[in-house]
Amino acid sequence: MQIRAAVLEEFGAPLRVQELELEEPRAGEALVRLVACGVCHTDLYTASGADPSGYAPTVLGHEGAGVVERVGEGARFVQPGDHVVTLFSPQCGECIHCRSPRTNLCLAIREQQNRGYLPDGTTRLSRDGEPIRHFMGTSTFAEYVVMPEIALAKVAPEAPLDRACLFACGLSTGLGAAMFTAAVEPGSTCVVFGAGMVGLGAVAGCRLRGAERIVCVDLSEERLRLAAGQGATDVLAGGEGVVDRILEMTGGFGADYTFEATGNVAVMAQAVAAARMGWGLCTVAGVAGKGETLDIVPRLLITGRRVCGSSFGGVKGRDQVPQLVDRYLAGEIDVDAFISHHLTLDEVNRGFDLMEAQDGVRSVIHFDAAT
């Protein structure tokens, strides 16, 4: 079938919306009609050439939601008509990682996905007979996608798909960092560095876990106001003296939990330093640039601080994304506040421009306004 999609032809150049050929789903795969897709910083990161694992040409986009139209042979988990959220982090349920509660990093299709292919080592996208590689196993800057069914989370049909799509990456990453990776304890003090999509999700996650004090740090007053709306009890302007201010607020000890959601290695170092002596846990969710490293004073670790990373918030996608969407439907997570701009596929590059200007939190592309 012919579809329209936004193709990254070369790093640093605008995406080109054009017609591509999309094959039918093969065994264990599904054809999904996209309804909405968020424009995520990871898409911009790859398009800029900063991602060391990036490649072109490819169809970007990974924060999608839509409706299953057809399934391939042997599909067990989804069927036509299901409303789904796309998962760049799949869940086969059978590999050693999926069977362990300690990680969400499914091994089943990881090697092929990282190379831009579906599990059988081929693509479903092509142009004039030449294969076009998939991005993060998803490629949701397109009207339709073919994906492995283990990379689709079936969600409640009453969930608006232009809201549910945010759970495909940024929002779940932040929520999960607090709820699953760090497993914030009730009554604790938390500090979140960064009030973008991931950071705001972390603020909400800390609230849902029963944190007593939630401090959010950012350079933007507008974003700090959004953080207060998600449950932050205190807000601070970022900068060189912010760690000292956090120590003052916590009796000189630091926070029980800190979260880094900027991708800036200098801010990562601040998040480590702001963690409490004795048991403070710093969770790094931001993605740093190519070749960047994080310097940590060893004494901070010897005196009890711990540092961990969090990919997709530790969320096991097929099981836990539907649960998070249900909590949104129950009124526990304010998703509407995150959506700043509504775009068409032809406006995808404007979504990148808005992101670089820090204009709002999330732009959402709509493919079918009637759904």
Which residue is catalytic, options 29, 63, 143, 149?
63
Cβ burial 177-201 (10 Å sphere, 16+ → b, else e): bbbbbbebeeebbbbbbbbbbbbbb
Sign of CA dihedral 309, 314, 317, 321: negative
Which residue is catalytic, options 29, 46, 58, 62?
62
DSSP symbol at 261: -
Give the H or E element holding residue 34: strand 29-38
Which residue is catalytic, options 92, 165, 216, 282?
92
Which residue is catalytic, options 83, 207, 362, 366?
362
Pairing of strands 339-343, 362-366: parallel
Pairing of strands 83-86, 63-71: antiparallel
**Residue 190 among the catalytic residues:** no
Which residue is catalytic, options 165, 169, 190, 216?
169
Residue owning tokens 């009030």 = 195
**Residue 95 among the catalytic residues:** yes
**Residue 366 among the catalytic residues:** no
Which residue is catalytic, options 29, 37, 40, 143?
40
Which residue is catalytic, options 29, 37, 42, 190?
42
Which residue is catalytic, options 106, 190, 206, 216?
106
**Residue 110 among the catalytic residues:** yes
Q: Which residues contact 174 (CB under 8 A, 6 or more apart)?
A: 197, 198, 199, 200, 201, 202, 203, 204, 205, 259, 261, 285, 313
- Per-residue 3-state assignment (H helix, E strand, C coil) for 59-83: ECCCEEEEEEEEECCCCCCCCCCCE
Which residue is catalytic, options 98, 165, 206, 216?
98
Q: Could you give the residue ranges of the DSSP H alpha helices within the chain?
A: 41-48, 110-114, 161-164, 170-176, 197-208, 221-230, 242-249, 265-273, 298-302, 317-329, 348-356
Which residue is catalytic, options 110, 213, 306, 341?
110
**Residue 122 among the catalytic residues:** no
**Residue 342 among the catalytic residues:** no
* Other beta carbons less than 10 A from residue 350's beta carbon: 16
Which residue is catalytic, options 69, 95, 103, 327?
95
**Residue 245 among the catalytic residues:** no
**Residue 282 among the catalytic residues:** no
Which residue is catalytic, options 37, 41, 124, 206?
41
**Catalytic site positions:** 40-42, 62-63, 92, 95, 98, 106, 110, 169, 362
